[in-house]
Structure 1
Amino acid sequence: MIIVDDEPKLRLGLQTLIPWRDLGFEVIGTAAGGHEALRIFEETIPDVLLVDIRMPGMDGLELLQEIRQGGWSSHVIILSGYADFEYARQALQLGVEAYLLKPVNKEELSASLQKIHEQLSNVQKKSLLQKTNTPEWILYSLLTGNSASEDSILGEWSDSFEASWKTFQILLIGFSGSHQEESEQIHNFKDVLSRTYASDRQGIVLYFAPYIVLLLGDPPVGELGWSELHKNLQLLSGELRFEMDVAIGQPVRSLDEIIHSFRTARSLLERSFFYDRGRMLTEETPETYQKEIVQTSVLSLSNKEEEAFRLHYLVDVGHASAISSFLNEIALQQAANQADEKEIRDRFFYLANETVRKIHSRVWSLSGYPGEPAQFLAEVYHSRYIRDLVDRISVVMERLARCADYNSKDNEMKRLLDYIDRHYGDNLRLEMLAVLFNYSSSYLGQLFKSYTGEYFNAYLDRIRIQKAKELLAQDMKVYEVAERVGYSNVNYFYTKFKKLEGESPSFYQKKE
């Protein structure tokens, strides 16, 4: 049961007013409007929908039209605060079970629910009679735990299929890259597998949304046997326009343990993002980036802002050769921190977006990428595997880096000074720049002093104040200039300006 009403008090009241469990129902969700209800339908199709007819946005009748056009056959009870004949007529045309007026009468609603429950029970019994005793239905019962008696279901298995199997193993096929309109292809693929494996009694094939389940009796032995099976599956899937992931659960000795093999395979598929493309997944398959302890010397950056700063720097100064190893270090660190798939996607999307946002449009056009930055960022976020995610960013970032106005013979100090000259308004710190050059901050400080004759902070202040003078001459407000050149504290800006120029920013601006 799903309850849809824009009044929070009524939604809560309906959940507590009606003895749902006594009537054989469970409220699995509530929604404040039609659009929210449709999002629930995308994940779970309820048996019954209890919906208000008048709601802002998509009303109850519009919701019902969407449901019927989508082919969903859920039973519907309409609630309305108006005894309007036209509403009732339209509702009845869309196949509602009852049209009840507010305030809700408990007995009247309960009677409608009892009638619907009886109809659902009759349909379920008829379906069971049609499906019982087939190997597919028995397998489905074992996987869902819906078998009324374990002993009887195992007995039916022995009578209906191959009783000589001594070992059982679940192979799951997932299609995380597929779309709703491609479901027909998946079912066709399932039929091909059935003709291949079930017809000669090698296994049982079942579509157990969103997976295809292949139960193997006496499964292959050794790595070579599984490799051959994997190749066969790939050949049979030739007509599919999208990729599939394959995972194997552990072998079990009895039918009542099949659920454990299934759960193992399912957990592997749910983590397919962390494995290399095209691998048959087992409990022994190594993840792309092992979740091992990473030494702090491998990656000393601690947050995504510093990582984004470094990636942009590598691109901006043309260090193409360092980009791939840098991104792989981040992925390794994320694995060590046990970050989940969403966290990793969000982190790498942030890094790519920050870099693309800061580079000049000319550099992007020179990179030769066949599309706009938005297309690249979408491809980054929807990469199916972590290796693809890292590699896709690496390739594009390296292209951008090679378009920078540098060559490999440029002096590192020249690069550093040019970077400071172009990014003086950022929160530049010697410690952060030292990470980019793989130096200690003290050693880089010595190099900097030797090359420029100034300490880093003194040099940065001089550059900033010089830029500030140019902006003040353009009649910008003092606090705006301070922020533009990298001083968040305007009083600190006053102090630095007066120290270097011998007069306040305001006096300098008036003089100019």
Structure 2
Amino acid sequence: MFTVMIVDDEPKLRLGLQSLIPWQELGYEIMGTAANGNEALRVGEEQIPDVMLVDIRMPGMDGLQLLQEIRRRGWDTHAVVLSGYADFEYAREALQYGVEGYLLKPVNREELSTLLLKLHGQISAERLTKRVHQEAKSQEWAVYSLLSGSHDLVNVSMDELAESLGMDWPKYQIVLIAFPGLHPEEDERIRSFRDRLVTAYATDSQGVVLYFAPYTVLLLANTLDGELGRANLYRELQMLSGEIRSQMDVAAGETVLALDQIPNSFRTARSLLERSFFYDKGRVLTLETPESYRQTSSCSKDNSLLDGEEVSFRLYYLVDVGHAGAIHSLLDEAAGLMAVNGKGETEIREQFFYLANETLRKISPRLWSESIYPGEPAQFLAGIYSQRFIRDLVSYVTAVMERLARCADYTSRDNEMKRLLDFIERHHYENLRLETLAGLFNYSSSYLGQLFKNHTGEYFNAYLDRVRIGKAKELLTQGWKVYKVAEKVGYSNANYFHNKFKKLEGQSPSSYQKKSVRDEYSL
């Protein structure tokens, strides 16, 4: 039964309302009446009514003043205003005080009964929600104490505690929900999400919801059953989280059989979230969830991909020769190899930053402008650190590198051998190897070597030496010192350069330089 107070300065109306309405049938009882606002406040101090029927026009303290005062005092009272025709506009002002409705005098029995039935349902729902939240707070205290290692539960029987709190469940499982990049203490959207979670799970004792910084914790009474159960939970959490769903990470610990074992489930879920970078997005992480690159059989066996300089070398060349199709494979294999070899999230991010930065540093500025990327290179590089999952990181860098590769100008070249020769011409001074170029052009090294010999009539190394010596002759003619020329065209050893030059030109580099100077003066 909910309580009602009738406040009106007309005794006949007060008496009439008491007999007019079938209060008990509607779930109410009259707790008292008052002739004005001051008297109503005195009665209410002893017992606050659930519903108050208030006349607008009363001597002393009128209805509006009474409503204003009970709101100031924080009374949890639902008010219905009674007024005459002449007070209709005046009564509308009462709406600002949160009244549930207003009725014209003389009061119509059916109209008031209908309103009271509606209020009964509303108050019942509010009471249920309040009770659930009160019970949840006790449950929250117990769970928080267990997770934090509080001494409050020392010498407490877990069985008795679980029974007293309505938590004597056969199994328990912790689910942790995190929103990386958001501040759980400050973000109203996360607080709203927790409120919705309480309504969804605590109302019918499906679980307990609390905040255990920096996580939202959901202790499940009905533990997750297989992949389908995990998928259903994730979809529901997505729905409840609303606009911040894309920033949500979820992990579930193992199922435990006793309340005091839930810290074990918590630690498992936390360790999974701490490694969420290595999993595919869009799922509840569990001990059974495979990491993105857990299966070593799906990863490259080429350990040279652990060498940042080697991968940088290959990535830049793929972009430079316009081989967009091979970029994802290279970066995906490098990421997978780093993951299965125990590289951490920070190290992998830094490696990808290095690869991207080195490529941008070497390419022609023309490629970046032609790629029509919506931002500057610095913005792209900063975005590497905002990728929350390893596959997203690979895709993010791949997409931009492929843009750049597609802008490489090879429209005038009619086959890959011409592209390869052009590449050697432009990069002769670097540590070019047939094996590396074969990878860039998707050939085996033996097959590419044979193609190269058929097309040029020379083996790869011989052709490269001839290009380098040709470039060296130009520099020697310009007066460069021999050791400087050797470095410039790609020979780290000056003696080796001397021997190569003499073998191809029939004279030493210094003799060639002197002869070119004499020939110039003789002209």
On whether the aligned pair clears a TM of 0.5, the verdict is yes
Distance 1:218 1:440, change over 3 A: closer
Distance 1:427 1:221, change over 3 A: closer
More divergent stretch after superposition (266-275 vs 317-326): 317-326
Structure 1 gaps, min length 5: 1-131
Distance 1:304 1:220, change over 3 A: closer
1:336 is displaced (CA, Å) by: 3.1
* Corresponding position of 1:500: 504
Q: In the alignment, is the contact (CA less than 8 A) between 1:315 and 1:401 conserved in 2?
A: yes
Q: In the alignment, is the contact (CA less than 8 A) between 1:133 and 1:157 conserved in 2?
A: no
- CA deviations on 1:278-313 (whole Å, 9 max, x unpaired) are 212122222222332357667875633222222222
Select 1:171's aligned residue among 175, 179, 182. 175
For the pair shown, the structure with the greater C-alpha radius of gyration is 2
Distance 1:460 1:180, change over 3 A: farther
1:264 is displaced (CA, Å) by: 1.5
Alpha-carbon distance between aligned partners in 2 of 1:472 and 1:334, rounded to the nearest angstrom: 45
Alpha-carbon distance between aligned partners in 1 of 2:398 and 2:304, rounded to the nearest angstrom: 20
Residue 213 of structure 1 aligns to a residue in which SS? Answer: strand
- 1:267 correspondence with 2:271: yes
Select 2:458's aligned residue among 445, 454, 477. 454
What are the equivalent positions in structure 2 for 1:336-485 lying under 5 Å apart?
Answer: 336-406=340-410, 410-485=414-489
1:160 is displaced (CA, Å) by: 5.0
Q: Say how many residue pairs are matched.
A: 382
Distance 1:368 1:295, change over 3 A: closer
State the AA in 2 paired with 1:397.
Answer: M
- 1:488 correspondence with 2:492: yes
State the AA in 2 paired with 1:144.
Answer: S
Select 2:217's aligned residue among 213, 230, 253. 213
Alpha-carbon distance between aligned partners in 2 of 1:368 and 1:279, rounded to the nearest angstrom: 34
More divergent stretch after superposition (462-471 vs 182-191): 182-191
Alpha-carbon distance between aligned partners in 2 of 1:163 and 1:408, rounded to the nearest angstrom: 75
Alpha-carbon distance between aligned partners in 1 of 2:301 and 2:186, rounded to the nearest angstrom: 47
1:181 is displaced (CA, Å) by: 8.5
Alpha-carbon distance between aligned partners in 2 of 1:422 and 1:214, rounded to the nearest angstrom: 60
Distance 1:302 1:223, change over 3 A: closer
State the AA in 2 paired with 1:278.
Answer: G
Select 1:276's aligned residue among 262, 267, 280. 280
What are the equivalent positions in structure 2 for 1:50-69 lying under 5 Å apart?
Answer: none
Distance 1:133 1:332, change over 3 A: closer
Alpha-carbon distance between aligned partners in 1 of 2:410 and 2:259, rounded to the nearest angstrom: 66
Select 2:310's aligned residue among 306, 309, 313. 306
Alpha-carbon distance between aligned partners in 1 of 2:181 and 2:413, rounded to the nearest angstrom: 44
1:507 is displaced (CA, Å) by: 4.2
TM-score of the superposition, structure 2-length normalised?
0.66
State the AA in 2 paired with 1:367.
Answer: S
Distance 1:444 1:163, change over 3 A: closer
1:449 is displaced (CA, Å) by: 1.9
Distance 1:142 1:483, change over 3 A: same
Residue 240 of structure 1 aligns to a residue in which SS? Answer: helix
Select 2:233's aligned residue among 222, 229, 236. 229
Q: In the alignment, is the contact (CA less than 8 A) between 2:230 and 2:283 conserved in 1?
A: no
- CA deviations on 1:356-380 (whole Å, 9 max, x unpaired) are 2221110111111111112112212
* Corresponding position of 1:198: 202
1:133 is displaced (CA, Å) by: 8.6
Distance 1:410 1:284, change over 3 A: farther
Residue 212 of structure 1 aligns to a residue in which SS? Answer: strand
1:501 is displaced (CA, Å) by: 3.1
- 1:248 correspondence with 2:234: no
Distance 1:395 1:260, change over 3 A: same
1:213 is displaced (CA, Å) by: 0.8
Q: In the alignment, is the contact (CA less than 8 A) between 1:291 and 1:332 conserved in 2?
A: no
Select 1:152's aligned residue among 140, 151, 156. 156
- CA deviations on 1:454-476 (whole Å, 9 max, x unpaired) are 22222111111221222334443
* Corresponding position of 1:72: none
Q: In the alignment, is the contact (CA less than 8 A) between 1:291 and 1:338 conserved in 2?
A: no
* Corresponding position of 1:316: 320
State the AA in 2 paired with 1:470.
Answer: E
- CA deviations on 1:398-422 (whole Å, 9 max, x unpaired) are 1111111125984222121111101
State the AA in 2 paired with 1:490.
Answer: A
Residue 370 of structure 1 aligns to a residue in which SS? Answer: coil
1:238 is displaced (CA, Å) by: 1.4
Distance 1:410 1:337, change over 3 A: farther
Structure 2 gaps, min length 5: 1-135, 518-523
* Corresponding position of 1:292: 296
Residue 209 of structure 2 aligns to a residue in which SS? Answer: strand
What are the equivalent positions in structure 2 for 1:64-213 lying under 5 Å apart?
Answer: 134-147=138-151, 149-152=153-156, 154=158, 157-158=161-162, 161-178=165-182, 183-213=187-217
Alpha-carbon distance between aligned partners in 2 of 1:298 and 1:218, rounded to the nearest angstrom: 46
Distance 1:163 1:227, change over 3 A: same
More divergent stretch after superposition (274-283 vs 404-413): 404-413
Higher helix share: 2
Percent identical among aligned pairs is 62
Alpha-carbon distance between aligned partners in 2 of 1:475 and 1:300, rounded to the nearest angstrom: 39
- 1:335 correspondence with 2:349: no
Q: In the alignment, is the contact (CA less than 8 A) between 2:323 and 2:440 conserved in 1?
A: no
Alpha-carbon distance between aligned partners in 1 of 2:248 and 2:502, rounded to the nearest angstrom: 67
State the AA in 2 paired with 1:354.
Answer: E
Q: In the alignment, is the contact (CA less than 8 A) between 2:174 and 2:262 conserved in 1?
A: yes
1:156 is displaced (CA, Å) by: 6.8
State the AA in 1 paired with 2:355.
Answer: L
Residue 297 of structure 2 aligns to a residue in which SS? Answer: coil
More divergent stretch after superposition (155-164 vs 457-466): 155-164
Alpha-carbon distance between aligned partners in 2 of 1:503 and 1:381, rounded to the nearest angstrom: 55
More divergent stretch after superposition (164-173 vs 200-209): 200-209
More divergent stretch after superposition (153-162 vs 189-198): 153-162
Alpha-carbon distance between aligned partners in 2 of 1:231 and 1:446, rounded to the nearest angstrom: 56
* Corresponding position of 1:110: none
More divergent stretch after superposition (173-182 vs 303-312): 173-182
- CA deviations on 1:136-183 (whole Å, 9 max, x unpaired) are 222122112223554416267336521442221101011223358854
Residue 238 of structure 1 aligns to a residue in which SS? Answer: helix
State the AA in 2 paired with 1:500.
Answer: L
Alpha-carbon distance between aligned partners in 2 of 1:376 and 1:423, rounded to the nearest angstrom: 27
State the AA in 1 paired with 2:367.
Answer: V
Residue 152 of structure 1 aligns to a residue in which SS? Answer: coil
